[in-house]
Amino acid sequence: MSQFTAHSADTAAIATIRALAADVVGKANSGHPGAPMGMAPVAHVLFTRFFNANPKSSKWFNRDRFVLSNGHACALQYILLHLLGYKLSLDDLKQFRQIDSLTPGHPEAGHTDGIEVTTGPLGQGFANAVGLAIAQAHLGATFNKDGYDLINNYTYMFTGDGCLMEGVASEAASLAGHLQLGNLIAIYDDNHISIDGDTAVAFTEDVEKRFQSYGWQTLHVDNGDSDLEAIYNAIAEARKEKSKPTLIRLRTTIGFGSKLQGTHGVHGAPLKADDIKALKSKFGLPSDQSFYVPKETYDAYHEVAARGAKLEAAWNDLLASYSQKYPTEYSELTRRISGKLPDNWEKLLPVYKPTDAAQASRKLSEIVLSAIVPSFPELVGGSADLTGSNLTRTKTMVDFQPESTGLGSYKGTYIRFGVREHGMGAIANGLHAYGGIIPFVATFMNFVSYAAGAVRLSALSGHQVIWVATHDSIGLGEDGPTHQPIETAVHFRALPNLDFWRPADGNETSAAYHSALTRKHTPSILSLSRQNLPNLEASTIERALKGGYVVHEVQGEDLTIVSSGSEVSIALEAAQKLNAEGVKTRIVSLPCWSIFDLQPAEYRLSVLRSGAPILAVEALSTLGWQKYSHEAFGLTGWGASGPYTKVYEKFGLTGSNIAEVGKKVVDFYKKKGGEVISPLVKAI
């Protein structure tokens, strides 16, 4: 790396970024000008001296990745994207935080050109960056050859005090250090300010020592406000370290140039008009002009863009040469980049007959993974220290580990996340954001709640993350209420753009994986049992892929019972008793509400039809079942510790008791009189 050389446009460009940050937030009368103004110098140095990307081809695969973990500072990122020539105009900057603009209040992946991941909830972006770095390390190890360093990008991340206070960042940082991710460079905006004021009130640890204990290289720049050479040298030094991630602690003044600089008053509120004019004058910019960009600033950033275009052109030539020398690897790499799934992969999914042995759906999940993993190299993931319980590591998998540990290699596809559920979920979002990888992660269903923030961002961002969530009800038994999920399914079923699957048997488990692997912009949670489940008479993968279907049909029914997962077989036992007593009962399995909701109305009304009351049964909270049933029976409080059969008996989740509940429902609606209309029939 060459020595720092000043550019004639440096001073004007940094001043322009600071003034634009004030203008952007000021026009919106909303936002955070302080961090963008404080970080303008490091942003300028990073993007003009180091960052490799082509703004005219924002999805070039070997581009450097940038993550703004302190997403409230997004005015800075939008300004940089505009200056570099991404699809973001000056008018877009003027529409900051306005309805349907390309410059929303926090960065959103898939919405604004050049944004890699959605950030804002603090710490999430930090963990996303770790995922991006893992993805590069894995794909580089898998596809690079001598003379063909195809995948060698860096991941750069800006982070702040708030991110470093969040546990999710600590989880991810700890794992990144263990994994020796030398391709990851975090720049910490150490401005000593949070919303409550000076960080002295709550955050006084030695951040550098903490990160050193994680196994990171730490560097620091004492004057982040103006020492461009020191900033340059720190980034250059970080790039030299190949076996450790690097944290650069950058001491900055929040809101630099403002009358309120260095105070929390400039953190999350627009500057006053007179303050904006004064700082422009101080920086040598026209104080009477808003959104002013000098030609020399545009020219400097267009030079950077031109450099990026040349880099991509050279990379494309290298890829073409690679295709000639390594045609098999080239075909596989380009397939994965395109998102195309392996040919005929569906034929690998296990298919079951009713006579096949009952098995826990977590075991059925393992059987699916064992069948597809050898043909699905893009499946990369692991468990939060529950591999033996989640059953997620198949015999052909190799651990993703630094070779120096002797525990695996970067070619490995199985990640030992440790007991870090939240970090795991957020890292998985980064893995998917990188491209060429479909991440899967695993823990007990109850502990997906630890990762709720990351799951929410998966859904918002359209990240295809597959959660293998075992021990999914009171059926886990002896571990008791601390581990038995009651409200968890309600929470995740309520999330927009998330498929929550609770399969009842082998074919439904195969269907859940089929859906999860083909829904490319939707995360899935597979809620799986610890206890054995019999294979159903009427189940097929095709039927289950509709999200709901009839597993036991009768005409002129008195009652329909709808259920999911481990309770479907209990409902069938109840139906057998009811039908024997002359109470005509049909059974519906509803393994995935969101998929069922996508089916045509005619089909849905044929499954949950009018004419008789519908009773929902599930060993969870019944909240939400009102959409699909007239009555619901399940858990109204916490579970209990004991053998799972005894726990089910305690809460009345047996065939005999459900039959009795069913008779009460039938009697009630007969006495009530009138036509029973399907709960799916609504005005809106």
Q: What is the dihedral sign for C-alpha 221, 227, 229, 232? A: positive
Q: Which of 599, 618, 616 is nearest to 488 (CA)?
A: 618
Residues 6+ apart with CB under 8 A from 54: 60, 63, 305, 308, 309, 311, 312
**Residue 232 exposed, middle or buried by CB count within 10 Å (0-12, 13-18, 19+):** buried
Q: How far apart are CA 163 and CA 122, in angstroms?
A: 5
**65 contacts 129 by C-beta, under 8 angstroms:** yes
Q: How far apart are CA 17 and CA 37, in angstroms?
A: 7
Give me the residues paired with residue 68 across strands: 158
* One-letter identity of residue 14: I
Dig out the tokens for 35 from the structure: 């961090």
**511 contacts 591 by C-beta, under 8 angstroms:** yes
Backbone phi and psi for residue 239, each to the nearest 5 degrees, phi listed first: -70, -25
DSSP helix/strand/coil, 464: coil
Q: How far apart are CA 303 and CA 109, in angstroms?
A: 26
Q: How far apart are CA 301 and CA 240, in angstroms?
A: 25
**Residue 578 exposed, middle or buried by CB count within 10 Å (0-12, 13-18, 19+):** buried
Residue 91, CA distances (Å) to 12, 24, 28, 101 in order: 21, 10, 12, 10
DSSP helix/strand/coil, 313: helix
Residue 217, CA distances (Å) to 134, 155, 521, 545 in order: 17, 15, 36, 49
Dig out the tokens for 364 from the structure: 């059925």
Pairing of strands 631-635, 614-621: parallel
Dig out the tokens for 638 from the structure: 């916490």
Dig out the tokens for 127 from the structure: 């963990």
**131 contacts 415 by C-beta, under 8 angstroms:** no
**300 contacts 7 by C-beta, under 8 angstroms:** yes
Please give the DSSP secondary-structure letter assigned to residue 176: H
Dig out the tokens for 141 from the structure: 């190890």
Helices H, strands E: what count in the chain? 24, 20
Q: How far apart are CA 394 and CA 246, in angstroms?
A: 33
Residue 403, CA distances (Å) to 189, 245, 394, 418, 482 in order: 33, 16, 20, 18, 38
Active-site residue set: 421
Q: Which of 488, 525, 526, 527 is nearest to 623 (CA)?
A: 488
Q: How far apart are CA 545 and CA 654, in angstroms?
A: 27
